[in-house]
Amino acid sequence: MLVALQICLAPVTTSAQEEAGDDLLVLAAASLGDVLPRVAEAWHEQGGMPVRFSFSATSRLAPQAVQSSADVFFSADEEWMEWLQSRGAVDADDVRSFLGNRLVLITPASAAEPVSLSGLAGVAELALAGDNVPAGRYAREALMHAQAWEAVSTRVVRAGSVRGVLAWVARGEAAAGIVYETDALAEPAVRTVHVFPPGAHRPVRYPAAVLVNARHPEEARAFLDFVSGAQARDLFTARGFSTDDARGPAQAAERGTGPSVGSAIRISLLVAFLATVVGLLPALAIGWLLARHDFPGKILLSTVVLAPLVIPPVVTGFLLLSLLGTRGLLGGALTALGITVPFSVLGAAVAALTVGLPLYVIAVRGAFEAVDEQYEELSWTLGVPPRRTFLRVSLPLALPGIAAGSLLAFARALGEFGATIVLAGNVEGSTRTIALAVYTLLESPQGQSATWLLVGASVAISLAALFGYEALSRRQRRMLEDRRGR
Amino acid sequence: MAADTWGGIDMDVRVRMGERTLDASFQTSARALAFVGPSGAGKTTLVRVLAGVERRAKGTLSVGGRTWMDGSGSTMPPWERGVGWAPQEALLFPHLSVRENMAYGGAERSAVEQMAELFRITELLERRPRKLSGGERQRVTVARALLSRPQLVLLDEPFSALDRPLRAELSRTVRELLDRRGIPLVLVSHDEGDADILADERWHLVDGQLVRN
């Protein structure tokens, strides 16, 4: 099945990323989301390999880095990098640390009364990044150092990443928040009211390293050379990052490259289409078995197939990653075949298929069960054995219902999020589907209109698919009705 | 099958039908056999046993000298029995035209058209089943059963939706055709009139029990 998918995908990936496999995959902390694509652009202009990014909270990326064949990892703190070393995903010699940042307290720019550090106890809510996210850890250290933690800890609201904190404060949904200076600079809707001094928390460093499983280790090292070089340093300092010990002039940064609406819709449709087409045969086989046959293990089969319906998709994604990741149970075999599942369209399609299959099977089973068994029995007595009876009677009579099931699976695949982000990541132009793009936009300062466009497209496509499902189901019912005459 | 080689039917079968049991034990060499009884007596179940589609059936059955059920659970599958079954519900494949329904078992075009003429359904040949009346469906169903080169024809309330005169006429048509070709028949019906025309030997079926007339 995977091989077939890979074959289907070949032409598509080519168009999406110039040459299949010939690019660097970089996993990077969310706070680098504006600047790193610029640096990569400059590197590509000078003949470097094209670079794809997956930006998220470091805590979310690190486990993915262990399982994937990504090339480079940018952590937002030392601890997660050490964790990767302990897992053997990174060589200690390969770690470089040349980027730094500062922590700031922000309020909405529109806030009437500015909040100060000493007055924090009075704010309604203080937004911080999650407990395991570096920005969240630094913030807690800084507040404890300022002896303000006790007073505010009950008012803390946690966002998934530092970008989430920024978005909440920018929209005024949190009265204050703690983010990196570079984030505050990039967002005009927030005001910096306090810069935490060095010594208030461990220094914010961004260690970067080439991953042990990198597909292109040489190019990855060259990329890190470039990122730590003079030209890139200007790009970093222009956005408020410190490089080594030199702190550049802090200016408001230009807007970064956000998710593309067109690419998200295209990827969503492609992923859903692949999942639906590849899922058809298994859905037919399992649906038919469950509808027409009694056999030992029938309940077990049904349970296993339907399980993704009730298991949290994130868990399903994790199980798939453990199975198909480069270090997963089947990872070695897949790698030998030249197939990479994590962070690829293939991964997104596998995730969508796994999560969509239960609905597919339920619909196909229902379509077969709606066909009166007497039609098949009658066909047998007319000298047509079961296999040909299936093709001449069961399949044509169930066809509208099967088509309806395909549309349902398609719609479910479009909506898939949890398993996709774990297995396939959130890679612009390759695995960032509509759902992931909306999620990304919600945590980024720009793109309200892009969000609405995607939301509109998502709702429209899903409703169209459901409408088709209903129409086809009705058609099958009509075809099978009134067989006893009027 | 030529008239002199018909080996009759030897049946000793039980089928649990919910709370009751069909107990069908008989032996006959008659070529045209009718089982008459009220609805719910087990007539349709008896026909389904002969057609080979009744999975709950236990016992032995041999037809025309061949063993169809040997009592050990090994059963000749329906697609090897060569039965022409016209089920009670006049079941036609809804996705096929009348012509395609009649030719389903492999009958040739000319045979289909001849049979259509005999049953006065020539003008219905290109129609879809959903456009037919109940009586029209029954005629197509019986015609299809006769077209499948059967070793045994099974008719389950074949013409119940037709009015008396047409019903009698078609019954006579079927009888003549079966006699001419030497094909044995099992009819089940709640109507003695059908049995009068179609059958030589009559059994009554009441509450799952057989009574020889």
pLDDT of residue A244: 66
Show Cβ contacts of residue A470 under 8 Å, excluding neighbours closer than 6 positions: A404
Residue at token pair 């039609």: A375
Nearest CB among B48, B133, B148 relative to A383 is that of: B148
Assigned token pair, B50:
């002969």
d(CA A416, CA A410): 10
Chain B positions in Cβ-Cβ contact with residue A482 (cut-off 8 Å): 130
Q: Does A377 touch chain B (CB under 8 A)?
A: yes
| A217 to A66, A220, A334, A447, B201: CA distances (angstroms) | 15, 5, 20, 35, 90
B64 vs A445, more confident: B64
Q: Looking at the DSSP assignment, which residues form a beta bridge with residue B210?
A: B205
> Would the CB atoms of B78 and A380 count as touching at under 8 Å?
yes
> Would the CB atoms of A479 and B83 count as touching at under 8 Å?
no
Mutate: best of A381, A391, A478, partner B, most B CBs <10 A: A381
How close does chain B come to A255, measured CA to CA in Å? Answer: 60
How close does chain A come to B152, measured CA to CA in Å? Answer: 11
d(CA A271, CA A368): 27
Chain B positions in Cβ-Cβ contact with residue A397 (cut-off 8 Å): 93-95
B59 — pLDDT class (breaks 50, 70, 90): very high
How would you write the pLDDT of chain A (486 residues) with one tens digit per residue?
Answer: 444 444 444 443 333 333 446 889 999 998 898 899 999 999 999 888 999 999 988 888 888 888 888 999 999 888 889 888 888 888 888 888 888 889 999 999 887 777 777 778 778 788 898 777 888 888 988 988 888 888 888 788 888 788 888 888 888 888 899 999 988 988 888 998 888 988 888 888 899 999 988 889 999 999 998 998 888 888 888 888 888 643 333 333 333 345 788 889 999 999 999 999 999 999 999 999 999 999 999 999 999 999 999 999 999 999 998 898 877 888 888 888 888 888 788 999 999 999 999 999 999 999 999 999 999 999 999 999 999 999 999 999 999 999 999 999 999 999 899 999 888 877 777 888 998 888 877 765 555 678 888 899 899 999 999 999 999 988 888 888 755 443
H/E element, A52: strand A51-56
Question: Average pLDDT of B106-127?
Answer: 94
How close does chain B come to A68, measured CA to CA in Å? Answer: 50
d(CA A170, CA A174): 8
How close does chain A come to B100, measured CA to CA in Å? Answer: 11
H/E element, B180: helix B164-181
d(CA A119, CA A109): 17
How close does chain A come to B201, measured CA to CA in Å? Answer: 25
Catalogue the E-assigned strands of chain B.
9-17, 20-28, 32-36, 58-63, 66-70, 83-86, 152-156, 185-189, 201-206, 209-212
d(CA A271, CA A67): 22
Closest CA to B93 of A386, A365, A480, A288: A480
Handedness of CA A107, A113, A116, A119 (dihedral sign): negative
> Would the CB atoms of A381 and B51 count as touching at under 8 Å?
yes
Mutate: best of A371, A382, A390, A391, partner B, most B CBs <10 A: A382
d(CA A123, CA A157): 12
d(CA B213, CA B208): 15
Assigned token pair, A268:
């969503």
Q: Is the pTM of this model over 0.80?
A: no
| Phi-psi domain of B106 (left: phi exceeds 0; alpha: psi -120 through 50; beta: other) | left
> Would the CB atoms of A485 and B92 count as touching at under 8 Å?
no
pLDDT of residue A157: 83
> Would the CB atoms of A381 and B161 count as touching at under 8 Å?
no
Contact present, A70 and A183 (Cβ < 8 Å): no
Q: Does B105 touch chain A (CB under 8 A)?
A: yes
Chain B positions in Cβ-Cβ contact with residue A377 (cut-off 8 Å): 48, 51, 53, 78
pLDDT of residue A421: 86
Handedness of CA A357, A359, A365, A367 (dihedral sign): negative
How close does chain B come to A171, measured CA to CA in Å? Answer: 59
Q: Looking at the DSSP assignment, which residues form a beta bridge with residue B35?
A: B188, B203
DSSP A396-427: HHHHHHHHHHHHHHHHHHHH--HHHHHHT--B
Chain A positions in Cβ-Cβ contact with residue B79 (cut-off 8 Å): 380-386
Q: What is the mean pLDDT of chain B?
A: 90
Cβ contacts from A onto B, under 8 A: 74
Where would I find the H helices in A175-312?
Answer: 181-186, 217-227, 230-238, 261-292, 298-310
d(CA A230, CA A45): 16
Exposure class string for B142-173: b at 16+ Cβ within 10 A, else e: bbbbbbbebbbbbbbbbbbbbeeeebbebbee
A53 vs B3, more confident: A53
Does the pLDDT of residue B33 top 50, yes or no?
yes
> Would the CB atoms of A377 and B53 count as touching at under 8 Å?
yes
Chain A positions in Cβ-Cβ contact with residue B84 (cut-off 8 Å): 381
- The predicted complex's ipTM stands at 0.94
